[in-house]
Amino acid sequence: MKGIFIFLFFKILLFIAPLQAQTLITKDAMNSFAKYSASKELKDLETARKLIDDAYKTKADSGGFKNNLIRGLVYSTLARVDSNLKLKYSGDPVEVVLHSLRFVNASKSASDAEAEIAHINNQLKHSYLYRANTSFKERRFNEALKYFVILDSLDRNTYAINHNLALLHQELGNYEQSVFYYGKLIAQKPKPEYYLVLANLYESMGDENSAVRTLKSGSEAFPQNRDLVFKLINILVNRNDYVEIAKFTERALKLDEFNINLNYLAGFSNEMTGNNLKAEEYYKSVLNINPNNYEGNYALGLLYLNLYLRDTSKSNVIYVSKYYLSKANEIDPNELKSLTSLAILYNHTGDKDELQKINNRINQLKLN
């Protein structure tokens, strides 16, 4: 009986001895980490790493809460302070931290180490941010995207992260995702350039209606921005949306009053929507800026000619039309449209000599 007792006691001693040694190593690792926190000497952090690696040998060790917590603290700090990975590692420090955190977060003791876990996560965020920015700067866009997506999952309301994700998705051709993040940026901190880029993205996706809607919203938010309203007008011109063109050219002219092309477009869009008085006003503005502008003279002459053709009792209008159409022909004698309009005018006035001259000129140009 005494022999059995001695044998059992010996077995217990064999079990306790490694456990005590293990606890001592863990304690020393924590002390070294605490020493680094005070000194900021990398050698102290390296000592802590060596000690916690030694305490992480068996399956039981690698699943222990305390071991994984200290390992997370040490390696998350290494990941941050040794951002360029100049030290030698058997694996990525960030992956080591994530592995340990799975055990820590799954433990019932996690609630007792909230400050330490928060510290680990904060160090990870700094590491991700460094890697994300470095990859972006070096144009490794896929890698940068990976880290910014992780950062976004940790904090979905960070303006700078949303900004970079919008740019990265745009650069990589992920237009739908880029649209999502530009939408978030506009909601957080609207800027004219965000509206412009978003409109361009919609155009690239073939969604012109959304592009127009975006530019209209941008113009409302930034009425003094020329780029927004001019881009909007260009799209509206391609769509022949004269009602909207008339509306937004009026706004654009407040920013560029003496723009000949804009005044002409304002006149033309108003003429197309039946607002002849407004059209006349804008065509005259073109000629006030440049009396020898061909399009302005021709448009005004044609406007008066059409008014006469609709109501021939307005005989005085035909003479005004003749003046501007003749002026247009003087400016560019080889332009057929002013000659054709003059031919129509002389045909209605019965001036056969002038009509013959015009027709001869038209035939001559057609032969050439």
Q: Is 183 helix (H, G, I), strand (E, B) or coil?
A: helix
Q: Which two tokens stand for residue 85?
A: 């990975």
Q: Is residue 109 part of a domain?
A: yes
Would you give the distance in Å from CA 92 to the centre of its chain? Answer: 32
Q: Is residue 93 part of a domain?
A: yes
Cα–Cα distance, 284 to 301 (Å, whole number): 11
Angle at 343 between CA 340 and CA 347, to 5 degrees: 145
Residue 72 main-chain phi, psi, to 5 deg = -65, -40
DSSP state at residue 205 = T
Structural domain total, the chain: 1
Cα–Cα distance, 216 to 195 (Å, whole number): 9
pLDDT the model gives residue 60 = 58
CB 151 within 8 A of CB 122: no
Q: Is residue 69 part of a domain?
A: yes
Q: Is residue 290 part of a domain?
A: no
Cα–Cα distance, 205 to 199 (Å, whole number): 10
CB 76 within 8 A of CB 97: yes
Mind listing the pLDDT tens digit for each residue in 115-137? 999 999 999 999 999 999 999 99
Residues in the chain predicted with pLDDT less than 50, given as ranges, are 1-22
Q: Residue 96's domain spans which residues? A: 17-138
- Contacts of residues 250-255 at CB distance under 8 Å and 24 or more positions apart, as own/partner, are 251/219, 251/223, 252/226, 255/224, 255/226, 255/229
Q: Is 104 helix (H, G, I), strand (E, B) or coil?
A: helix
pLDDT the model gives residue 17 = 36
Q: Is residue 310 part of a domain?
A: no
Q: Is 58 helix (H, G, I), strand (E, B) or coil?
A: coil
pLDDT the model gives residue 29 = 77
pLDDT the model gives residue 22 = 47
Q: Which amino acid is at 75?
A: Y
Q: Is residue 117 part of a domain?
A: yes
State the residue for tokens 């008066």.
304
pLDDT the model gives residue 23 = 58
Q: Is residue 276 part of a domain?
A: no
Q: Which amino acid is at 65?
A: F
Angle at 78 between CA 37 and CA 41, to 5 degrees: 40
Cα–Cα distance, 42 to 211 (Å, whole number): 54
Q: Which two tokens stand for residue 294?
A: 């061909």
Cα–Cα distance, 190 to 221 (Å, whole number): 8
Q: Is residue 120 part of a domain?
A: yes
pTM above 0.85, yes or no: no
Mind listing the pLDDT tens digit for each residue in 55-109? 777 665 667 888 899 999 999 999 999 999 999 998 899 999 999 999 999 999 9
> Angle at which helices 141-154 and 114-137 pack, to 10 degrees?
150
CB 33 within 8 A of CB 55: no
Cα–Cα distance, 321 to 194 (Å, whole number): 47
